[in-house]
């Protein structure tokens, strides 16, 4: 049976699928092997602590086929929260079918229902031109910030 795409907030029952999607994304985009136990604990920690953020999943044919994670950043300049879109993954068999577009539109709808959300941000690998074109096609603009980090 071919069902319509359904977007929903993820629950603990989605933890293993999200973990596998994150492993696949890291390998595909950065050629990184993630530690299974650390990743599993990280996914479950977010699912158990909604103050840190939340995952959205896309379901088609009774199967989770895509996901993304939302975390927040306070902006004192705007007196509101930015939602950071992270851990975006769509199953290879379901790409180029509008799955990410549907997830993104759901994010926008959720944000529109909350007064304190001032915008969305995400980061993308410099070489991931396909993803960059997708984000631009949905109205996102390249900003002028560079990102720095120090991993503890």
User: Cα separation of 48 and 45, whole Å?
Assistant: 5
Q: Going from the N-terminus, what domains does the chain have, and what CATH number goes with each?
A: 6-122 (3.40.630.30)
**Bigger pLDDT: 71 or 140?**
71
Ramachandran sector of residue 139 (left: φ over 0; alpha: ψ -120 to 50; beta: rest) = left
pLDDT value, residue 2:
47
> How much of the chain, in percent, has pLDDT values that exceed 70?
98
Q: What's this model's pTM, rounded to 2 decimal places?
A: 0.89
Please say whether the beta carbons of 57 and 43 come within 8 A: no
Secondary structure (3-state) at 47: helix
**Order of all β-strands in the sheet with 6-9:** 6-9, 53-60, 63-75, 80-90, 117-122
For 53, left (φ over 0), alpha (ψ -120 to 50), or beta? left
First to last CA, the chain: 48
Q: What is the pLDDT of residue 65?
A: 97
Tens digit of pLDDT for each residue in 69-125? 999 999 999 999 999 999 999 999 999 999 999 999 999 999 999 999 999 998 888
> Is 58:5 a contact under the CB 8 Å cutoff?
yes
């Amino acid at each position: 049976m071919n069902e319509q795409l359904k977007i929903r907030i993820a629950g603990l029952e989605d933890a293993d699928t999200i973990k596998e999607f994150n492993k696949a994304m890291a390998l595909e985009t950065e050629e990184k092997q993630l530690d299974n136990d650390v990743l599993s604990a990280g996914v479950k920690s977010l699912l158990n602590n909604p103050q840190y953020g939340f995952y959205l999943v896309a379901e088609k044919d009774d199967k989770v086929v895509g996901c993304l994670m939302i975390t927040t950043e306070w902006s004192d300049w705007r007196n509101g929260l930015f939602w950071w879109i992270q851990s975006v993954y769509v199953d290879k068999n379901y790409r180029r079918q509008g799955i990410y577009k549907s997830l993104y539109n759901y994010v926008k709808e959720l944000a529109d229902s909350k007064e304190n959300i001032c915008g969305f941000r995400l980061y993308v690998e410099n070489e991931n031109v396909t993803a960059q074109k997708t984000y631009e096609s949905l109205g996102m603009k390249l900003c002028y910030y560079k990102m720095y980090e120090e991993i503890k």
